[in-house]
C-alpha cells in the first residue's frame, strides 16, 4: 500500500502557491517523512524551479474554472476546483490532501495511515485565539447543514471513496440549484461548501481524529519557527502556538515568512 | 408484564394525542399499545385504554401540568413510557425497551436539535443550570411500578402542589414561578439523590426537541416553523435539509397537519 500527501497549487496574480507548496512539502518531509505529490498547472510548475526536488511526482492539471474572490482589499482569481479530482489524480493507495497554507509543526497527520475508514474529512477547526468554532465554520447558515473543511482530508483509493469525489463533481456542476436547496450564496463557490454538501448527502461523517487550529485574515502572522507560530491580532494580542498544526489564512504574511524560511533552508 | 405508552391530553391536546397514537402504531414493531388520560372524547379505536381523568388538581391553571403527576397511579401497564402529546414517532425505537427494562425509572437527560446533534445549551434550562439540578426531561420517561417509583411520583406531586416552597428552597436562581414537571422531577431526583439510578450515558432515550432555542440559532423566532421549512416525501419527514428519525417533539400545535400525517398512512 503506497501512502503519501497530495498538494494542489495554482498561482494567481499575486499569490505564489508554488512556493507555498514547496515549503509545505519540505515540512511534510521533516515532520511526517512521507512522499509528497503536487497537482499544478504548467505555469505554476514552471515557477517551482529548484524546489521540484521536494516532490515525489508532479501531476499536471489545467483548471478550466476559476473564480474571482475578494481577498483582503482586492479581488483575485482562485483556481482550486480540481480538488474534486483528487481521487483521479493521486498516485497513492492512501492519500492525505492538505492545503499548502497549513503550517505543519507536528506529526499528528501520520495517525491516518492504515485507517479502517475509506474517507475522513475535517469537521473541527477552531480559532487559534478563542479555541472556539466560529458560527461560519460550524454550519453553512443557521438553518442549513453542518460545515466541513476541504482544507485537509484522507482517503483510500477505492470504489467507496470514488463515490464521494464523483458526488463533489456533480455538486460543482449543479451548484446554482444546490445553493437554493442548502440556502447558501450561489455566487460563492467554495470547496468547503461542496465538501459539506457531499458529506451531508452521503452521510460519510467519519472525521479526522484531531482538531486543526486556524487563524483568519483578521490575524497577522508575526513569526514562524520550526516548532511555533506567533500570531498577532489587534484587540487580542500575541498568541504563540507550539507544536500544533495551524491553518493560516493571511497569505501575505505567510508568504513573506515562507520566503525567509526557504532562503535559509539548506537541504 | 404489560408494556405501553401513556399520554395525558386535555383540551386541544386530544387531537395531538391521536396523531401520536397513529404514529406509534405505524412506526413501532413491538410495543404499539398507547393509552390516553383525558377529560375529552378521543377516538377510542386509536387507544388501548381511554382513562378518564379522575381528579383535576390543576385548579385555574391553563397549562394543566399538575395532573401529569398522576401518571404512576393511572397507568394500566407494568412498564410505562410517558409522553407529551405533541410528539410523533418517526422510526422504530422498540430496541430502547430492552435497555429501559434494566431501570425502575429512566428519565431522558439529553435532547437533540433538528440536525441530530445533542443540545448543549438551552435558554429554557436556566433554572436547571442556576440551581445545579439534573438536566431531566419528562416528555419521554420510562417507569416500572415499584415502591421506589411510587415514592418518586408522590414526591413530585408534593413539589408541584407546593411549588413556591420547593422553588424557594431548591430552585431560587432564577426562580420559576409556574409549575413545570421537568423542574419538579429534577428536584425530586436531587432530593432522593438518585440521578445515577434514573439516567443513562447511552444515546437513548432522547428526542428531537423543536423549541427554537434548542436549535443553536443566534436570532430566532419562537415559532420554529417560521425559521425552518418542512417537507413530507416518501413517508419521511424532512426539517430543513435533515431527514428526521426517532421521536420528534414538535411543540407547535399547528404542526401535525393532514399533510404531515400522510407519513403514517
Cβ B115–A143 below 8 Å, yes or no?
Answer: no
Q: Measuring CA to CA, how many Å separate B142 from each of B54, B99, B184, B220?
A: 22, 11, 16, 32
Contact B6, B35 (CB under 8 A): yes
Is residue B47 pLDDT above 70, yes or no? yes
Handedness of CA B24, B242, A183, B263 (dihedral sign): negative
Contacts of B227 in chain A (CB under 8 A): 142-143
Question: If 0-12 CB within 10 Å is exposed, 13-18 middle and 19+ buried, where does residue A192 land?
Answer: middle
Average pLDDT rounded to a whole number, residues B12-22? 95
Residue ranges making up the domain that contains B239: 3-264
pLDDT digits (tens, 9 = 90+) for A46-73: 999 999 999 999 999 987 666 777 777 7
Contact B227 A142 (CB under 8 A): yes
Nearest CA in chain A to B114: A143
Task: Quote the minimal CA–CA distance from A124 to chain B in Å.
Answer: 14
| pTM attached to this predicted model | 0.87
Write the pLDDT tens digit of every residue in B118-130: 999 889 999 999 9
Q: pLDDT tens-digit profile of A6-27? A: 999 998 878 899 999 999 999 9
- Domain of B118, CATH number, reads 3.90.550
Q: Rounded CA gap, B223 and B251, in Å?
A: 9
CB atoms within 10 A of CB A231: 24
Strand residues in B53-114 grouped as ranges (E): 79-83, 87-89, 105-108
- Is some CB atom of chain B closer than 8 A to the CB atom of A116? no
* Chain B nearest CA to A145, separation (Å): 7
Count of structural domains within chain B? 1
Helices (H), chain B: 13-27, 71-74, 96-100, 126-130, 147-161, 163-170, 181-192, 195-198
All domains of chain A in start order, with CATH: 3-264 (3.90.550.10)
d(CA B81, CA A192): 43
Chains A & B: contacts with CB separation below 8 Å: 26
Which helix (DSSP H) or strand (DSSP E) does residue A58 occupy?
A: strand A57-60
Report ipTM for this prediction.
0.79
B197-212 residue pLDDT tens:
999 999 999 999 999 9
Residues of B in contact with A196 (CB under 8 A): none
Mutate to test the interface with A, among B226, B241, B242, B245 (most CBs of A within 10 A): B241
Q: Which of A135, A138, A143 sits opposite B240 (nearest CB)?
A: A143
* Average pLDDT score over chain B: 94
Amino acid at each position: 500500500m503506497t501512502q503519501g500527501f497530495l498538494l494542489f497549487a495554482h498561482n494567481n496574480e499575486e499569490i505564489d502557491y508554488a512556493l507555498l507548496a514547496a515549503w509545505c512539502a519540505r515540512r511534510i518531509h521533516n515532520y511526517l517523512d512521507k512522499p509528497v505529490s503536487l497537482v499544478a498547472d504548467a505555469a505554476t510548475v514552471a515557477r517551482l524551479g529548484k524546489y521540484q526536488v521536494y516532490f515525489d511526482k508532479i501531476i499536471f492539471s489545467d483548471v478550466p474554472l476559476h473564480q474571482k474572490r475578494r481577498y483582503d482589499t482586492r479581488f483575485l482569481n482562485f483556481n482550486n476546483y480540481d480538488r474534486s479530482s483528487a481521487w483521479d489524480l493521486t498516485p497513492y493507495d492512501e492519500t492525505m490532501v492538505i492545503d499548502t497554507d497549513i503550517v505543519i509543526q507536528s506529526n499528528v497527520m501520520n495517525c491516518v495511515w492504515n485507517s479502517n475508514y475509506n474517507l475522513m474529512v475535517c469537521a473541527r477547526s477552531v480559532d487559534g485565539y478563542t479555541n472556539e468554532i466560529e458560527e461560519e465554520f460550524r454550519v453553512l447558515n443557521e438553518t442549513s447543514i453542518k460545515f466541513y473543511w476541504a482544507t485537509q482530508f484522507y482517503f483510500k483509493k477505492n470504489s467507496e471513496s470514488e463515490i464521494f469525489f464523483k458526488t463533489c463533481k456533480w455538486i460543482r456542476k449543479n451548484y446554482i440549484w444546490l445553493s437554493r436547496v442548502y440556502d447558501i450564496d450561489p455566487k460563492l463557490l467554495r470547496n468547503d461548501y461542496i465538501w459539506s454538501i457531499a458529506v451531508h448527502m452521503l452521510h460519510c461523517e467519519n472525521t479526522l481524529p484531531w482538531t486543526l487550529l486556524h487563524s483568519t485574515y483578521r490575524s497577522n502572522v508575526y513569526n514562524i519557527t520550526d516548532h511555533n507560530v506567533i500570531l498577532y491580532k489587534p484587540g487580542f494580542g500575541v498568541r504563540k502556538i507550539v507544536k500544533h498544526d495551524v491553518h493560516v489564512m493571511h497569505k501575505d504574511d505567510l508568504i513573506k515568512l515562507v520566503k525567509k524560511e526557504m532562503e535559509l533552508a539548506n537541504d | 408484564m404489560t408494556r405501553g405508552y401513556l399520554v395525558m391530553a386535555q383540551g386541544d391536546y386530544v387531537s395531538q394525542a391521536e396523531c401520536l397514537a397513529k404514529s406509534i402504531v405505524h412506526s413501532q414493531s413491538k410495543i404499539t399499545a398507547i393509552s390516553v388520560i383525558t377529560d375529552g372524547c378521543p377516538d377510542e379505536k386509536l387507544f388501548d385504554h381511554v382513562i378518564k381523568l379522575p381528579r383535576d388538581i390543576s385548579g385555574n391553571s391553563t397549562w394543566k401540568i399538575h395532573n401529569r403527576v398522576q401518571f404512576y397511579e393511572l397507568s394500566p401497564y407494568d412498564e410505562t413510557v410517558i409522553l407529551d402529546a405533541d410528539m410523533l414517532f418517526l422510526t422504530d425505537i422498540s430496541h430502547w425497551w430492552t435497555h429501559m427494562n434494566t431501570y425502575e425509572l429512566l428519565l431522558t437527560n439529553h435532547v437533540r436539535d433538528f440536525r441530530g446533534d445533542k443540545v448543549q445549551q438551552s435558554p429554557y434550562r436556566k433554572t436547571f443550570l442556576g440551581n445545579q439540578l439534573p438536566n431531566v426531561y419528562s416528555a419521554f420517561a420510562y417507569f416500572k411500578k415499584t415502591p421506589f417509583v411510587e415514592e418518586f411520583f408522590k414526591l413530585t406531586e408534593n413539589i408541584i402542589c407546593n411549588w413556591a416552597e420547593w422553588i424557594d428552597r431548591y430552585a431560587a436562581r432564577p426562580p420559576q414561578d409556574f409549575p413545570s414537571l421537568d423542574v419538579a422531577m429534577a428536584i425530586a431526583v436531587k432530593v432522593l439523590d438518585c440521578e445515577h439510578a434514573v439516567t443513562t450515558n447511552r444515546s437513548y432515550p432522547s428526542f428531537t426537541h423543536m423549541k427554537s432555542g434548542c436549535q443553536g440559532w443566534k436570532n430566532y423566532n419562537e415559532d420554529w416553523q417560521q425559521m425552518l421549512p418542512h417537507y413530507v416525501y416518501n413517508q419521511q419527514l424532512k426539517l430543513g435539509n435533515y431527514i428526521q428519525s426517532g421521536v420528534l417533539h414538535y411543540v407547535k400545535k399547528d404542526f401535525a397537519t393532514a399533510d404531515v400525517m400522510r407519513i403514517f398512512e
